[in-house]
A and B are shown apart, each in its own frame.
Chain A
Amino acid sequence: MENQATMSEFDSILSSRGVSRRSFMKLCAGIAAAAGLSQLAVPRVAQALEESVIGATSGNLYPVIWIEGASCTGCTESFAQVETPDVASVVLDLISLNYSETLSAAAGHSVEEAKAQTIAAGNYILIYEGAVLEAFDGNALRVAGETGITALVEAAESANAVVAIGSCAVNGGWMAAHPNPAQALGVQQYLEKVGVTTPVVNVPGCPVNPEWVMSVLVDVVVLKDMDLLLNRLNEFNMPGDLFTQTVHDNCERRGHFENGEFVYEFGSKEEEMGYCLYPLGCKGPQTRSQCGVTLWNDRRSWCVQSGAPCIGCCEAKPSDPGDNWVEVNTPFYKRMRNLRIGDFEFQPTTIAVAVTGLLAACLVVHGFGMKISGRMDGGAPFEKIRKWDSKHPEQEIGTYADPVKGGPVESEDLVHKNADPRKKN
């Protein structure tokens, strides 16, 4: 009855704030909950806190450790843009994000303790963002007084799976591009190197598309079946359904490609008509990802829709940091990558045309030579004898008028044998 009084008191507040009828109805249930649940919940939290810094070690939420390696935080940022479900629902209703350098309320040793407790409790997955850096014995990345590689190995060893998100985590990303000063490489390669056998799931992209991360989490967290996830993986341990078809396959501008309607200049009239960006170096035809289907930022847009050619940020071969997307795709606005010999870089066309041109020039020069030496019209006279034959008269191949001096074996019969059409075999 007390509650009813509170309700009427609130009517004006609610209406002035435009609270809907629906949420008003919710309010009634909420009050009941406030009376009931709060008394249950608060001691539960207090108790959990006394037991450990991460609360209960099991429950409805799947424990997750999210480590940022050498990252720009872009993948966390990207994940924070997820709208279906929104990120708050993910961290409150789906996963227990016990360690996240960007979202954790804790800091310093207590967040490290949360990580240690989660590792000790086991049955968690590790999400790793950013590259693994090996330079200076791993000191190119230092966290909590130790190297980044130590932290990775500790967390990966006991994990059910490691999800390497973003192209940096898959094979070093842009950091691995020439000259790779921090000696970046991917999670899978590093763990293989140090003998950690936890399965690695690679989800490339710069940044990773949050919907792809969710699709991985759905298998593990919602459907609770790790095999579903592992069975989806292709030869690069990437979810095959996401990274088999090319951007070109699913591009909204593909029709214009087929029609031969192209944008040749940024921001042009053709761009306004949504023509194909292929002549501007779009890497869609050689980049395997579902961007055009998943879209970005709550399906608001994607690169090609905004008028930008694909720059192939999902290109990442886990076993080879040299095959990182920057190295493979620069210059971004040319059809093909630059090739590199040391510090000398060139386009494939340049070298190919140069070699072909050189050859053609040689042929022309040679042609003049042939002309000058009088070989153009029927060639030079035949040699009388093979050089080898003249030196080895007893083993000679040909039969000559003279075994040393050579010369044709003039024979009318043989001419007939070889030249007479009726005589042919």
Chain B
Amino acid sequence: MAHLAHYKEAHPLPFVITHWINLIAMVVLILSGFLIHFPFLPFLMGIARGCHIFFGFVLFINCVVRVVMAFFVKSAPTGGTRQQVTDFKTWLPQKDNRHQAGAWITYYLFLKKEHPLGAKLGVPQKISYLLIPILILIMFWTGLCLWGVTMNVPCFLATTNLVGGLMSMRIIHYFMMYVFICFMFIHVYLANVEGFEPTKLMFAHKEHGGLVYDPDLHNIVGEDRDVH
């Protein structure tokens, strides 16, 4: 019965926008991908392929923009504070998380009763989020290896040959989609399992009060009851 306050500073507006774009692009890509792979709504084939290619680029460009912004935009390093640091620092190992990986795992396995102290992103979370840009890159790359327009560009052709041809490439691209689906399941679950406040903040910038955390002391310092 305790969580850190949810302040806008954790997710500045640019990141809210890129998050929205990520969501839309991924959902459209997965749906259109399925429609292409299993043409059960045949009349949508043309649209599905167009969308798939378009949103493939959207997702990739959005990913690049988001990564670049990390070096210019500031965000809160932990929940429960309005203090901000340049965003990419929250990607690096943070002092708040040091030695806490075991705590997180045991907590989620119900072996530990108390919620671990940590930064905005817990240890498993941070690792998985860091993988996302890499996943997007792989997905984009394998997609271009399969797309007729780019498949014979030497770098893509070489990749295709490396993995053993177009069939293998297709299967890799297909498997990667399931990795995304799995990620989304876990992400959505973990973000909301302790209440919908994080979602409200991420999508609608709606704040919520809670415990206040000081990133310098790396500890909770009180409670904010002003924000509801």
Contact = CB atoms under 8 A, between A and B. Distances in A.
A touches B in complex, CB < 8 A: yes
Interface of A: 235-236, 244, 246, 248-249, 257-262, 278-279, 283, 285-288, 312, 315, 317, 320, 323, 328-329, 335-337, 339, 348-349, 352-353, 355-356, 359-360, 363, 366-367, 369-370, 373, 375-389, 397-400, 408-412, 414-415, 417-421, 423-425
Contacts of B219: 398-400, 408-409
B108 A366 contact: yes
Interface residues of B, number: 76
Contact of A367 (B3, B158, B193): B193
B198 to A, nearest CB: 11
Given A381-B1, A418-B214, A336 B99 contact: no
B178 A355 contact: yes
Given A317-B161, A317-B165, A286 B2 contact: no
B61 interface: no
A400 B7 CA distance: 23
Contact of A408 (B81, B99, B220): B220
6 contacts: A363-B186, A376-B195, A379-B3, A417-B214, A418-B81, A418-B221
Given A285-B166, A418-B80, A386 B110 contact: no
Contact of B217 (A259, A323, A409): A409
A373 B166 contact: no
A421 B114 contact: no
Interface of B: 1-3, 5, 7, 9, 37-39, 42-46, 74, 80-84, 95-96, 98-100, 102-103, 107-108, 110, 112-117, 148, 151-152, 157-158, 161, 164-171, 174-175, 178, 181-182, 185-186, 189, 193-195, 211-215, 217-224, 226-227
Contacts of B83: 417-418, 424-425
Contacts of B115: 375, 379-383
A408 B221 contact: yes
B84 A379 contact: no
A249 B116 CA distance: 56
B161 A414 contact: no
Given A337-B171, A408-B222, A409-B214, 8 more contacts: A235-B161, A283-B167, A363-B186, A382-B220, A383-B103, A383-B115, A398-B219, A419-B81
B84 A352 contact: no
Contacts of A260: 39, 42-46
Contact of A386 (B82, B103, B151): B103
A286 B166 contact: yes
B222 A411 contact: yes
Contact of A377 (B1, B39, B213): B1
A369 B1 CA distance: 16
Contacts of A366: 108, 189, 193
- Most chain B beta-carbon contacts within 10 A, residue among A353, A363, A376, A386: A386
Contact of A425 (B84, B170, B174, B221): B84
Given A414-B222, A417-B214, A383 B165 contact: no
Contact of B218 (A339, A383, A397): A397
B214 A348 contact: no
Contact of B39 (A262, A336, A382, A409): A262
Closest 3 pairs (CB-CB, A-B)? A260-B45, A286-B166, A388-B99
A373 B37 CA distance: 42
A359 B185 contact: yes
A415 B158 CA distance: 57
A349 B113 CA distance: 38
Nearest to A339: B171
Contacts of A257: 45
Contacts of A279: 38-39
Nearest to A419: B224
A419 B110 contact: no
Contact of B3 (A236, A329, A336, A378): A378
Nearest to B220: A408
Given A355-B178, A379-B2, A329 B167 contact: yes
B217 A424 contact: no
A377 to B, nearest CB: 6
- Most chain A beta-carbon contacts within 10 A, residue among B44, B158, B212: B212
A298 B211 CA distance: 81
Contact of B117 (A246, A375, A382): A382
A380 B114 contact: yes
A257 B181 CA distance: 27
A235 B6 CA distance: 56
B76 to A, nearest CB: 9
A339 B81 CA distance: 50
A244 B152 contact: yes
A297 B45 CA distance: 33
A382 B217 contact: no
B44 to A, nearest CB: 7
Nearest to B176: A352
Given A377-B195, A414-B217, A336 B110 contact: no
- Most chain B beta-carbon contacts within 10 A, residue among A244, A317, A320, A366: A366
B182 A355 contact: yes
Contacts of B167: 283, 286, 312, 315, 328-329, 336-337
